[in-house]
Amino acid sequence: MSSVPELFGKNVFDDRVMKARLSADVYQSLRKTIDEGAELEKGVADVVAEAMKDWAVQQGATHFTHWFQPLTGLSAEKHDSFISPSPDGGVIMEFSGKELIKGEPDASSFPSGGLRATFEARGYTAWDPTSYAFIKGKTLCIPTAFCAYGSEALDKKTPLLRSMEALNKQALRILRLFGNDRAKAVRSSVGPEQEYFLIPKALFDRRPDLRYTGRTLFGAKPPKGQEMDDHYFGAIKPQVASFMEELNEELWKLGIMAKTEHNEVAPSQHELAPIYTTTNAATDQNQITMELMQKIAAKHGLACLLHEKPFAGVNGSGKHNNWSIATDYGQNLLSPGDTPYENAQFLLFLCAVIKAVDDYQDLLRLSVATAGNDHRLGANEAPPAVVSMFLGDELNAVLEAIETDTPYQGAEKMQMKLGVHVLPKFSRDTTDRNRTSPFAFTGNKFEFRMLGSSNSIACANMMLNSSVAESLRIYADRLEGADDFETALHEMIQKTIKDHKKIIFNGNGYDDSWIKEATEERGLLNYRTTPDCMPHLLDEKNVKMLTGLGVFSEAELQSRCEIMLDNYCKTVVIEANTMLDMAKTQIAPAVERYAADLARNAGAKKAIAADLACGYETKIIARLSALTDSILEKTEELEKALIELDSAADIIDESIRIRDTVLSKMCELRLPCDEAETITAKSYWPFPTYGDLLFGV
């Protein structure tokens, strides 16, 4: 293996490659497009395409693809070779600027939520030059946006880029008010921590529920789970270490800064954390990371589980989204400064986030809503479904001092012109982390902990970018027209604290008393499931904000609500049908076989001696018989509940029926099946058990 610096970015058409292969004029023009959003000239595109093709071919590539992220939650790609016919009967390798900039995949077979009819097949992919092209296998992958013939966004990248531009525009307005003329752009950055499970591939293949749904639908609790917490940060097993080593190498080749790896608290659970980068690039890289995890795991005899809750009663997996905003020259706008004036700027950006999280709790909640994540949110390994913020004791004290116009009781006091005593520089990491908080300040960034492990990070970040941009827009509108900037600034910060402090909570988010306090005393929202929250995407305030900033059109919002609820319904229906298949064709027959063999054993005993005791067999047979009757009854009830979905008035009605009826019937079917597992001889049970799966590596 080459050294890491030599390996890093080997398969990426990054800035180093562009500098080496493009003329100075072309390179500067492309950088202006990347950095400032300037339009790319066709002549420049042709030169870039030729250089990109030459580099890719030298790396062994034979094909190119416009790599995009449709509303399936996965990435998509259609491969075309570089070859074109030559007059002598051979071929030449060609790639034009037109092919680089625009592709034309079929738009009719991707989710559109009614934006496109089946016969309206045309769609376009458009190159995103802000995310570097990369080589995967023998294919040059060009990150792109995906839109319909009428320009409606059919992907997750387009609105994400729009939200980044909205945040950039409004943040620059604020910086100009503070006299900052140096910044040309403000960008959000993200570092997503990725949790996942690794189990033996051979055992995965024997579980239909894992193969079809990504989670176990049946499974009795093993004798040992995660009670000892002995897996957390423990020594990494050789097979897992080998997987991690290859994963790191492949990620580094793609310019992905995989940094931290460790065992998580549940058996067979692990985590990978990268260094954070620009949000759209981080989104692309996380999609690539999840794909590589599953491919590389299979090479090592493992299966990588990315579902939020693959095992009942065991910690699920999340994706902690570390989000921050910074200028193009590296000034983190969520870092306290060295002077009172810099701290005033920091406080204003902090208040913008506080206001955004409070005003748009519903958008943040629904941005992480999936059928899988519904099983995780509110459990002891994840934040509750109630959105709140953790700031820590020191920042809380600063905000309280501003709200009440009283001196901040820190180690040192300095009078700010804003009329309140605060430190000239806030110290960092003076308070504990709060892992129970959905949205926690961690020094110079916020950690949004509600994302599920299989989620694309695009949805959460487009909502976060947009809601903060809206806060900044309101602030800029008021401050730009103020007669006395400093007085207006102080009043605005103070008002934000008073109006939105209800969203700040530094305590234990797992405590039942917090949920009661949050909902009954503070008036915070508690949308426990996807059907509870998703329709609120179309609430008037949300539509007004997202369309006003140009992040979505109203039609795009309506389509996304439809798509997300449809995905929820289809996911649960597939799970229910899988349960029915497993219960009827494998679990019930296995239990019946075991009971029949016990009966034969009992009969054999009686044949040897009439008075020979058969108490064990008799008791087990009676219990197994009762359980098989219950399994039959519960399968019939679940089947009936699924049939009744056909009469649903619309997708919202269907999702509510699934939430209230189908899921409960699934739980009822699971109970007798799991109990049967505990009293059926292991040799009869048709699937690997939780103990096999969790401790099999």
pLDDT value at position 116?
61
Whether 214 and 373 have beta carbons less than 8 Å apart is answered as no
- The mean pLDDT value for 45-51 works out to 93
What is the band of 83 on the pLDDT scale with cuts at 50, 70, 90?
confident
Residue 39 has pLDDT above 90, yes or no: no
521-538 pLDDT per residue, tens: 999 999 999 999 999 999
**Least confident segment among 365-379, 466-480, 641-655:** 365-379
pLDDT value at position 424?
43
Going from the C-alpha of 327 to that of each of 192, 281, 334, 520, the distances in angstroms are: 20, 16, 11, 40
What is the identity of the amino acid at 19? K
CATH of domain 163-216+229-552: 3.30.590.10
Compute the distance between CA of residue 246 and CA of residue 237 in angstroms, rounded to an integer. Answer: 14
CB neighbour burial string for 154-164, b if at least 16 within 10 angstroms, e if fewer: bbbbbbbbbbb
**Least confident segment among 292-301, 351-360, 399-408:** 399-408
Whether 663 and 572 have beta carbons less than 8 Å apart is answered as yes
Which has more confidence, 591 or 509?
Answer: 591
Residue 279 has pLDDT above 80, yes or no: yes
Paired tokens of 625: 């018989």
Whether 34 and 129 have beta carbons less than 8 Å apart is answered as yes
Paired tokens of 454: 């299989």
Paired tokens of 627: 């359980």
Residue 343 has pLDDT above 80, yes or no: yes
pLDDT value at position 149?
74
Compute the distance between CA of residue 521 and CA of residue 500 in angstroms, rounded to an integer. Answer: 14
pLDDT value at position 615?
72
Residue 379 has pLDDT above 70, yes or no: no
Taking every pair of Cα atoms in the chain, the longest distance, rounded to a whole number of angstroms, is: 105
Going from the C-alpha of 558 to that of each of 113, 163, 364, 543, the distances in angstroms are: 7, 18, 17, 9
Homologous superfamily in CATH for domain 4-155 = Glutamine synthetase, N-terminal domain (3.10.20.70)
What is the band of 55 on the pLDDT scale with cuts at 50, 70, 90?
very high
H-helix or E-strand spanning residue 325: strand 319-327
Going from the C-alpha of 247 to that of each of 166, 250, 255, 291, 643, the distances in angstroms are: 35, 5, 12, 11, 44
| List of residues 6+ apart from 228 with CB closer than 8 A | none
Fold of 567-694: Four Helix Bundle (Hemerythrin (Met), subunit A) (1.20.120)
% of the chain residues with pLDDT over 70: 92
pLDDT value at position 423?
44
- The mean pLDDT value for 170-181 works out to 96
What is the band of 123 on the pLDDT scale with cuts at 50, 70, 90?
confident
Give the closest residue to 493 by CA, choosing from 389, 398, 402. 402
Residue 430 has pLDDT above 50, yes or no: no
pLDDT value at position 540?
98
Which has more confidence, 465 or 602?
Answer: 465
pLDDT value at position 613?
60
- The mean pLDDT value for 338-349 works out to 82
3-state secondary structure of 547: helix
Q: Where are the domains of the chain?
A: 4-155, 163-216+229-552, 567-694
| DSSP E strands, 47-185 | 63-67, 79-81, 83-85, 91-93, 102-103, 123-127, 134-136, 139-148
513-524 pLDDT per residue, tens: 999 999 999 999
